[in-house]
Every structure is written in structure tokens, then in C-alpha cells.
Copies of this chain bind each other. A is one copy, B any other.
């Protein structure tokens, strides 16, 4: 599929439903709403839907947005690699043939839609949406630019991560020509934390353990600790980057209790070690610097298994 064909689909059809993935992030929402606003600006009918409630931190993306009433005729999924990611409140869209077109940047895309466009080189789905919208030659609104910038910025960790491409920087430069308060967006996306999250981080950091002369660090999130903090479970998301943020650490491990004697492990490494290989020993996998696995046993057994594996690594 070429981008031009996707633009033609947008132009020839109407009454679009745009699906964004569950536990929505800046890229799925930025991409979905940018596309929706674009279609509406063309005089088309379009809605964005999500299985979950939209987090208020992304309110600037859907500010002033209202759902339209129309008979759905064309369904587009954005940034959704797997039908399961559509979410439990939108089961009807997980059936075969329910989605007409999927636009995604995950190379692992399951090809569940009737037509699929995947660009694994794109660091965000918003990169692809922006390219299609540019092809149209239409003037884009500031609101669309804001959505697209947010998608690119959030999926690259504000241009910090390895997935950041020169093109991501060039698109950011182009989008800054619109009236977007990028500094405020970035502050909200990267610097602001809820008071609950602050407290959770503090607790977790105070209990972090170091091993092998500080080259390995580990945090443990037991159900007890998570309930004692008295905050929403979502405040515990994304803590896995903390162990590796300590100077001198080459492998940071997060052990999270799923059920009794059943733990989910997240591993982050510097370029000196391979997180994916490490997790494969336990039947898991992932990326070179960020991977995961699941291990059964008591907490002590699980920690010992992990530390034995780390010892072999440093051996």
C-alpha cells in the first residue's frame, strides 16, 4: 500500500470511525484525533473511539471535541498492532473483517485489518499520519499540528530514545511553524507527575537494592506495597525505567507481583548488555535494551533465579 492510496481512501469515503488502542498514549490519541480533525475539516463525518476513558493529561488533544451522530461506514485503526489492543469495551471491532484499514508503525502488526499500512521505520504512528496529511496539500489546523507533535514527541521520549530518526526532528521543526505550545505539551507529558506517583516513586526508590558492586539494581512491587500506597494502580505503570537510571547500573530489574508466587519481570539494560537474551532464559523476550518475562515461585526464589542469571552475565 502507498500513502497516496490511503489519502484516496480518506477522500472517497465518509462516516469514519477511528479506533485508538486501549490504555491510550500520546501517539494513538495524537494520531487518531489529528486524522479525525483532518477528515472533519474536509467536511466528512468522523469520530475517535477508545475502549477506556481518555486520561485527562491528554485533554489538550480532545479539548472541544464532540462525538458526531452518523451511520458508520469505514473503520480505521491507528497505532494498533493487535486486535486485543482494541480493548474489552470494543469487542465488536476485534472480529475478523471489522476494521477496514490499519495504519501502524509496529513491525509486529498482526495484519488483522482488511488493509494494513505498516512503516516499521516510523518512530510514531503520527509520523505516518502527518505524511499522508501533507500529501493532501490541505492547510492543517494548529490543533492537528499539536496532536501530531504530541504523538512524535511522546513516542520518542521527547527525541531522546534510539528510535528517534532525523525525519522525526524535521517533522517536529515543520510542526513548530504552527501555533503550538510545545514547551507546555512537553512539560505536561514528561515533567509533571501526580502526587500519588511522586509518593510511589519515592517508596520504590527507598527500597531499591543494588548487587554486583552496583552494576545491577532491583525494585520489587508486591501487591502489599501497591495497596499500601493507596493510589490508583495506573500510578505504578512505567516504573521499570527507574532501576537503570542509577549511575553505574548496567541492568535494572523490576519484579512485579501478579498473583501469589507468580511474578512479571521487566529488564532494562545499557548498551553493555542484552535484555532480550537475558529474558529469553526465562521464556520471555523483547528489545535489546528493554525486555520482559514471567517467573513462578516465591519472591525469594524468583529473585535468586534472576540474580544467578545476572551473575552468569557478569561472570
Contact = CB atoms under 8 A, between A and B. Distances in A.
Interface of A: 158-162, 164-167, 169-170, 172-174, 176-177, 181-184, 186-187, 190-195, 198, 201-202, 205-206, 208, 210, 214, 241, 244-248, 270-271
B246 A195 contact: yes
Contacts of A271: 181, 184
A209 to B, nearest CB: 12
B190 A160 contact: yes
Given A170-B170, A170-B173, A245-B191, A183 B162 contact: yes
B166 A174 contact: yes
A166 B177 contact: yes
A211 to B, nearest CB: 13
16 contacts: A160-B183, A160-B190, A162-B182, A165-B176, A166-B174, A167-B173, A169-B169, A169-B172, A170-B173, A173-B173, A187-B270, A194-B246, A195-B210, A195-B214, A195-B246, A202-B202
Nearest to A184: B271
A285 to B, nearest CB: 21
A70 to B, nearest CB: 36
Contact of A205 (B170, B182, B184, B202): B202
A166 B176 contact: yes
Contact of A191 (B181, B208, B241): B241
Contacts of A246: 192-195, 198
Contacts of A192: 245-247
Contacts of A160: 158, 183, 186-187, 190-191
User: Which among A160, A167, A194 has the greatest number of chain B C-beta atoms within 10 A?
Assistant: A160
Copies in the complex: 2
Contact of A247 (B169, B170, B195): B195
A164 B191 contact: no
A272 to B, nearest CB: 10
Contacts of A170: 169-170, 173
Contacts of A162: 182-183
A270 B185 CA distance: 12
A205 B204 CA distance: 13
Contacts of A166: 172-174, 176-177
Contact of A164 (B182, B194, B206, B270): B182
A158 B170 CA distance: 15
A195 B248 CA distance: 9
Pairs of residues from A and B, 10 with the lowest C-beta to C-beta distance, nearest first: A166-B173, A162-B183, A169-B173, A169-B169, A160-B186, A159-B159, A194-B247, A169-B172, A166-B176, A158-B160
B164 A183 contact: yes
A86 B100 CA distance: 64
Nearest to A177: B166
A206 to B, nearest CB: 6
Given A184-B270, A198-B208, 7 more contacts: A159-B172, A165-B176, A173-B173, A191-B244, A195-B247, A195-B248, A201-B205
